[in-house]
A and B are shown apart, each in its own frame.
Chain A
Amino acid sequence: MSEMMKSINLAKLGKFREFGLLGFIVLLSIVIQLLNPAFLSPGNLTDLIKNTAILSILALGMMLVLITRGIDLSIGATLALSGMIAALTVRAYPDLHPLLAILIGIVVGVVCGAVLGLLVSKVGILPIIASLGLMNAFRGMTYWVSGREWVSAYQMSDSFKHIATSSILGINTLVFIAIIIFIFFNYFVNNTVTGRQIYALGSNPDSAKISGINSDRIYMLVYTLMGGLSGLAGVLWVSKFASAQGNTGSGYELTVIAACILGGVSINGGVGKVTGVLLGAVLLGVLDNGLPLINVSPFWQMGIEGAIILIAVLFNTIVKKTVERNNLLRRVI
């Protein structure tokens, strides 16, 4: 009985949080719009969505990792390494088909992710430590393969740069890819056995193992998937900005984790929804796009972003505590 009550409350909480987040985004948009009417113009909204596409792709991957009680700090470096290798390949073979360049990036990312997956699942190293080590290793490899040089716009073929500027069915390719990945994830985590097993493993690893879930397989899967998405994001990043540097995406992993936490994913595992994460990414996108528009001093800009993340986390904790207390009260009765 109490189990049922708890699950109902959790469901309510999940919904409430998402509506709260959506409301917050709407409120923020109104404030920005009042201060600068250019914000809700079609041109600016297109910019906003395009700039949020890569973040949301990565945030969806990170969500699965966080749900299993893990964390991946190496994705910024994986992004740089796969973007750099793709760019170097394009520089050497300008006639390379852009799809092949994307594939190269994904393969590099999958390999990086699989190494981390192995370290976490088979060797049993804590994810935060394993990914921290690999972050440095991948970053070093990026400098090594590039010889510390940048790959610049003129060294990339037009077809490669067009990945980010072209459109499919009237939608910018970056956004299109993000939508496809969103639909896939929504189906995967809600409707497949493996998807549900990820949540089960995150909410209670011990009982998940006892109930026959192959935890190693799940860990391998989430980290490899994260790696593959980082690889894809790396190629899109390089194509979007038409430049590959060794320090690309340095520190970006924290932005991605922030998007997840804003979206209601719990660092303690087991909790997180695809739509929430998407809203979290959109909120950060609105902040990145809107704060420059309202002429906030650069010193305040970071502070405001940080404050909003803190408010979201505090809100999460308070709501959760209230629900738990209510549950305890019910049990007494």
Chain B
Amino acid sequence: MKRWKLVSLLMVFVLTILAACGQETGSGESSEGNTSDGGGEAVTRHAIVFKSTGNPFGEKLMEGFENAIEEVEGEAILRAPEQPTVEGQIQIIEELISQQVASITIAANDYDGLEPVLKKAINKGIKVISVDSAVNGDSRMVHVNQADPEAIGRIQIQATSEMIGGKGQIAVLSATSQASNQNLWIEWMKKELEKPEYDKMELVEVAYGDDLRDKSVSETEALLQSYPDLKAIIAPTTVGIAAASKVITDKGLQGEVVVTGLGLPSEMAEYIENGVSPWMYLWNPIDLGYLAGRTADALVEEQITGAEGDTFEAGDLGSYEVVKTEDGTEVLLGDPFEFNKDNIDEWKDVY
């Protein structure tokens, strides 16, 4: 009995340690710190700090950033903490401040938590911008936003209209009914639908799959049962779009009901290849990183100050304008990136 107790306790102990280790080592390789000192006179050094290492989306974001910085003949410093914590990012930013980099681009782990350290950086003359996940307006000069809610909403209706020839019943399968992103996009979808060219398209229902596989499947099945003439399902969420596509695949409804929306390329590769979803959207992390790099350069070169109305050239992406938001200013990347049969192969392993 006693021995059993000991063994069992040990097992729990080991399991807990394993689980804890999982949290620590799950992120893979260490950060790519390019911390060469000296020689800082000739080239301008731009740093980017992502949320954590080993994140496929982050790797691509930093790749884009590096491309942009290399184009303007600067030096890119790519950093990320092992864990997605504020503490890890603060430590890295402190290091970057003492290295006297020209700019810091941050994908924040917390909206307000980085304010003291980022203000310190700004006071030292370092240009600070946020990308992907913003910091508050006081601790940044400008935010680079991947998603313009209006463009995201409108483009999904435009795509659906093209897929179904501009007429028929359509339905939306969202995440939860309280998800603010999705609700905003759906509002814009409805606004786009008011245009006369969509007169023959009817939005019959907005269903909520709660980003759960089983619920999203049930909701999709219910849509198909309730609306036998349904032509398209728009799912602006990864779990929803994949679940809806799976249902259409299993029921052999390819070509009768199309699925589009927003989803991870890896999850959607199967269904883009089998034709259930002719194409769908998500932001392109490389472009986002590239725009962030160009914005950082524009700030350092003093082409912009981060104030509303500033404009600058972002290399291959064209011209951008700084716009006002509720909290601070931002640059919008623009339309989301289209994933289709031709490019899904190269993206499905990326993220």
* Segment with Cβ contacts to B, from A58-66, A114-122, A189-197: A114-122
Contacts of B7 in A (CB 8 A): 118
Contact of A154 among B5, B18, B228, B348 (CB under 8 A): B348
Question: A148 in the interface, Cβ–Cβ < 8 Å?
Answer: yes
| Complex-state Cα separation, A44 to B221, whole angstroms | 8
Question: A38 in the interface, Cβ–Cβ < 8 Å?
Answer: yes
Contact of A293 among B19, B23, B222, B269 (CB under 8 A): B222
Contacts of B225 in A (CB 8 A): 36, 38-39, 41, 43-44, 47, 293
Main secondary structure of the interface of B (DSSP, over half): helix
* Segment with Cβ contacts to B, from A17-25, A135-143, A180-188, A273-281: A135-143
Quote the shortest CB–CB distance from A176 to chain B (angstroms).
17
Q: Which residues of B contact A (CB under 8 A)?
A: 1, 4-5, 7-9, 11-12, 15-16, 18-23, 25-28, 54, 56, 176-177, 205, 207-208, 210, 213-215, 217-219, 221-223, 225-226, 228, 239, 242-243, 246, 250, 264, 266-267, 269-271, 273, 348
Question: A7 in the interface, Cβ–Cβ < 8 Å?
Answer: no
Question: A173 in the interface, Cβ–Cβ < 8 Å?
Answer: no
Contacts of A248 in B (CB 8 A): 213
Contact of A243 among B27, B222, B267 (CB under 8 A): B267
| Interface contacts beyond A148-B26, A292-B222: sample of 19 additional A-B pairs, CB < 8 Å, sorted by A | A47-B218, A118-B4, A122-B1, A123-B4, A136-B19, A141-B15, A143-B23, A144-B25, A147-B54, A148-B54, A152-B242, A152-B270, A154-B266, A237-B213, A242-B242, A288-B214, A289-B221, A289-B222, A292-B223
Contacts of B208 in A (CB 8 A): 298
| Complex-state Cα separation, A153 to B274, whole angstroms | 12
Contacts of A152 in B (CB 8 A): 242, 264, 266-267, 269-270, 348
Assess whether A143 is in contact with B22, with CB atoms less than 8 Å apart: yes
Residues A123 and B5 in contact in the complex (CB < 8 Å), given A118-B11, A242-B270:
yes
Assess whether A119 is in contact with B8, with CB atoms less than 8 Å apart: yes
Q: Which residues of A contact B (CB under 8 A)?
A: 36, 38-39, 41, 43-44, 47, 51, 115, 118-119, 122-123, 133-134, 136-137, 139-141, 143-145, 147-150, 152-155, 165, 237, 241-243, 245, 248, 288-289, 292-293, 295, 297-299
| Complex-state Cα separation, A64 to B218, whole angstroms | 28
| A/B interface sample: 28 pairs, CB < 8 A | A36-B226, A41-B225, A47-B218, A118-B4, A118-B8, A118-B11, A119-B8, A122-B4, A122-B5, A122-B8, A123-B8, A137-B15, A140-B20, A141-B22, A143-B22, A144-B23, A148-B26, A152-B270, A153-B246, A154-B269, A237-B213, A243-B246, A245-B213, A288-B215, A292-B219, A295-B205, A298-B210, A299-B177
Contacts of A292 in B (CB 8 A): 207, 218-219, 221-223
Contacts of A295 in B (CB 8 A): 205, 226
Quick one: which of B22, B208, B223, B246 has the most chain A CB within 10 A?
A: B22
The 5 closest A-B pairs by CB, nearest first: A144-B22, A140-B19, A292-B222, A153-B270, A122-B4
| Complex-state Cα separation, A248 to B7, whole angstroms | 30
Contact of A133 among B12, B250, B270 (CB under 8 A): B12
Contacts of B207 in A (CB 8 A): 292
Contacts of A134 in B (CB 8 A): 12, 15
Residues A115 and B5 in contact in the complex (CB < 8 Å), given A47-B221, A150-B266, A243-B267:
no
Assess whether B9 is in contact with A123, with CB atoms less than 8 Å apart: yes
Contacts of B11 in A (CB 8 A): 115, 118
Quote the shortest CB–CB distance from A151 to chain B (angstroms).
9
